[in-house]
Structure formats: structure tokens, C-alpha cells
Structure 1
Amino acid sequence: MLQFENVSFRYAEDDFDMMRNLNFQVEDREFVSIIGASGCGKSTIFRLINGLEKLQQGRILVDGRPVQELKNYSAFMPQKDLLFPWRTIEKNICLPMELAKVPKAEQEKRCKEVLEQVGLSEYAKKYPKDLSGGMKQRVAFARTLLSGADMLLLDEPFSALDYLTRVDMQEWLLHQWEHYHKTILFITHDVEEAIFLSKTIFIIQDRPFSQMERVEVPLSYPRNREDLKRPDIVELKETLIEKLRRSVMNP
């Protein structure tokens, strides 16, 4: 689904590379989390995938084709919901379809379907101010889905939520992933969140980095919170935390 081939990148204001000759790949319909210290380059990976930044060297491929040749191949959901306060929930959700000039009747049909799926049908005519933080993130996710992209880039979408809401949203997101069969790349600082959600975790430990350690999570789907208490999962969590600590202490 996604492949980085010898990708190098640095920001214009820096005199050092953020990443150098980076190679990794993500399989179709895989749920992948990327963890690492603040400023290590996690969000830069998303910006390169989206074409918001231009790599200095290498190639980024989606389904075997360079991203420069593609349109609508990925959709981005940031930490903030970025809903327009003057638009109703249904109008916010329909925005990517409006931009794609989807016929209005089809917009209404798809919007109704996705609102039912995320459990917010009764809020279609409400405004963002009428929703809780968790509800707003569900609306933002619904809007991301209706972009039509098969690859979703989620950049710490739950970090601003309180603990119980974040737990609920994690379980809800897994359900949506299993229903829609999308490929998801998920950035988080929360090791437990990464373990609970992901099939694969990539760890950024170096600066600049030329590789990301790949860790397979030994849990099948569907999952529940009790799985996190398994001795091997507790050990994995401690191992990942220790790797992150070492990367912070040795930048």
C-alpha cells in the first residue's frame, strides 16, 4: 500500500537531515502506529506522504506508483477536529464531497450512512458547539472517511481528550477500521494506545533517522482492554517505553 524508498528530507531552516535514506513499507488494510519523541519526525512523515513537503531524495509509492502521479490517495485527520463552527455537522461532513463536486443527492446519501455508522444521526442539523470533544472527533473521522481515500493518516487525534473518552474513542476507532477496511497510519505518544490499536508499531529512535524499528503486536482482532494485562503485552509496553526513554536521553 505504502512504500518509502531511500527517502531523505531536511527543512530549509535546518542544517541537518530530519531523515536520511529511510525505507519502510505498510501493507494494505494494515493498522500501523508510529511512536517517538517530540520533534523526531513523525508528523513530517505524514507531510511527505501528503505532498505538503518535498523530499530531497528517494521515492514514496502508493500501490506501486509515485505519490506525485496520484490524487485522493490519502486523507489526513489532525489532533484538532478543524470543524467549521458556522456549518452544521452534515455540512461539515459533506465538505470533501463538495470539493470533489459529488452530486448533492449522493452527498446526502453518503452523509446519512456515515452518520448512522458513527452514531450521530440525530446531530446532523446541530453545530460543532453542540457536541462534546469525542463527538467532534467522530465527526472529523467521518469527514475523513468521505474523502474517498483508502489510506488514512491520523495524527494524535485523541490526545486532547480526557482519559475515559480517549479509551472509548480507541475502541470505536478499531470498530470503524474493521468495518471500512482502510489502511491506517496513526501517530501517538501513548505506548499503550499504540499497542491496543495496532498490528504493527514503528519506533523512531535516532535523529536523523534512517530506519524505524518494526514491532509486531502479538494480539489478534477483535481486542478488548483485558488483553493489555497479558504478561507478554505488559512486557512489550515496558520495552517500548524504555526504547523511547533512551532516544530522549541520547538525541
Structure 2
Amino acid sequence: MPAVPAQPQTGPGWALVTGATAGIGAAFARRFAADGRHLVLVARDARRLTDTAAELSERHGVSVRTIPADLSTDAGCEVVERRLADVVEPIEVLVNNAGISLARSFLKSTVDDEARLLRLNVHAVMRLTQAVLPAMTERGSGAVINVSSVAGFGAVMPGSTYSASKAWVTNFSESVGQATRRFGVRVMVLCPGYVRTEFHQRAGINTSKMPDWLWLSADDVVAEALRDLRKGKLVSVPDWKYKAAVFGLRHAPRGLLRTVAGDTRGRIGRDER
């Protein structure tokens, strides 16, 4: 008989968060630390990692370890994969949050930049998910949250490959999540809309003309994501307005979407850490 999916724990245990020093990643780290989870934080900036770890450990009394790593490289992925495979201090929740966008059309991009986007947004998500699942399925518990985007539900950013990479993350997570349910392991994809983070500034995307009502807070996004995880959802889309947007992207005629989409670069995104 298939195992009943276990409820994700909110007490002591280890969570690993990539892109953990700002935006959605930092919000996950804060929430897990407040819940009493020990943390492994991954990001490129070693100094910011150290500062974040010290703050969370002092405030919440949890153990916080850091892994400075560039997940767009094989070496960066490998060091995190080794930690995910540790059975002595097993990772009970993995959040694949790190990702990037490019502030240019594919027509003006370069192979190197596009390859880096794919390595971080797609390849790293696949590798780290695959690295953690054997231990989770063996013990019959655990959760993986892959951070995607509302942009992944349609070609709403003409010329950009960001939405294509997020479409992969969404489809991949739904598929793997269906396969792991019987082992008591949950895989969920989180698809936020427009979140106040460093993502757009780092990508060089101008958001000054975006209305305030489109913005979500990273803490609210994380809170809704964890509620959806507890409910056993495969896909989490925070906030009613983005749920409505996803419905439109999934069901509106493609011709209509192409007519109204325009160049919406920068309207949907998240943080790259």
C-alpha cells in the first residue's frame, strides 16, 4: 500500500535554502529559523552569508551553516550535493530558490549568458533535487520547494528566455511531486508574481513604472507557500491576483495572449541571490 505523505515538520531539523541572503530565499531562512529549524544557507556572497547566519543564529538560537557557492558551475553544485546527501544531519526541507533573469532580448544576448541562465535556473534545480530525494524517499519524509514564477505559465516576456526556464521548473516539479507522493515526500513548485526583492536591480530591469498593487512581500509569499505545502499542493501561486493571472495564462487563446502581452519584461520575477 502506498505510504501516506508525511506532514512537513516545523520543529527542529535541517533546511537548506539556496539564494538565501536576500528576497524570497532570505524570507524562507527567517521563517525556518523562527520555527526552530537549523539551516544550511547557500549563496555566492560569502560575507553576506556570514552576516545572515550570525543574525539568524543569535536571534533564534538555531545552528546556521553556510556554503558559498556559484550554482551555475559544476563545482558549486557538487559541494551542495555532498551536503544534501549527508545522512547524519539529513536535510528535511530543500528550497531551490537561486535564479537569474537577463535584461536583454535573446536576439541581443550571448551564448555564455544564456547558458549561465539555464545552468542556474534549470540545471542546478534538477541536480539538487535529485541529490536530496534518495535520502528523503528512503526515510519516508521530506519536502522540496522549487521557486518558479507566474511567468512560467506563458510567453509573456517576448524575447526573454527567463519564462521558458521557469516553465521547465514548474513542469519538472509537478511531475516529480506526483512520483514522490507515495514515498511520503512532497515536491512543490512556488510560482510568485511580482515580489519586492533585489532580483530586478541585479538584472538591470527598470521597475519604476510598476504600480504598487502588483507587488507582493517576500514574507507573505513564503507564508502562503508553506500553507500550501502543508495542504499537499503541487503548485503554489500566492495572492488572488496572480491566481487569476495564471488562470488567464492557462486558458486564454494564445492569439489573445500575444496581443495583450507586449514586452512585460520585469513585471514578473523573483530574487537572485
Higher strand share: 1
Q: Report the TM-score, using the length of structure 2 for normalisation.
A: 0.33
> Larger relative contact order (C-alpha < 8 A, sep ≥ 6)?
1
**Greater Rg over alpha carbons, structure:** 1
Q: Report the TM-score, using the length of structure 1 for normalisation.
A: 0.35
